[in-house]
A = this chain, B = another copy of it.
Amino acid sequence: MAKFMDVHDGFVGVTQQQLEEAHQRDLDNERAEGVHFERAWLDPESGKVFCLSSGPSKEAVARVHEASGHPTTQIYELPVEVS
C-alpha cells in the first residue's frame, strides 16, 4: 500500500460543506479501487485542494476521483515522509 498526494485546481470560493460533499463522494467510490482518502485541505482563495490517500497505485487514485466527478492528473506517490 502506497501513499499519495494529489492536487486539484479550480476550487475557488468552495465552502467547507462543498468540500465535505466532494470528499464524501470519494469515500463512497474508494472501496472499489482499494483506496482510502485520509484527509483533504482547501485553499479557497487559490482554488487548490490537496488530498492525502493510500492505495495500490496512482491510477487507482485517479479512477476514484474521476468517478467522483473531480478528476486530476496531478498525483504524486510519497515513499518518503518525515514528521
Cβ–Cβ contact B80 & A23, under 8 A:
no
Integer count of this chain's copies in the complex = 2
40-74 of chain A: CB within 8 A of chain B: 40-46, 48, 50, 52
Cβ-neighbour of A19 out of B14, B39, B41, B82 (below 8 A): B82
Cβ–Cβ contact B82 & A43, under 8 A:
no
Give the Cβ gap from A17 to chain B, nearest Cβ, in Å: 9
Cβ–Cβ contact A79 & B5, under 8 A:
no
Given contacts A43-B76, A43-B77, A50-B50, contact A82 B23 (CB under 8 A): yes
List 8 interface pairs A-B (beta carbons < 8 Å), by A numbering: A5-B41, A5-B50, A14-B80, A15-B80, A20-B82, A39-B83, A40-B82, A42-B80
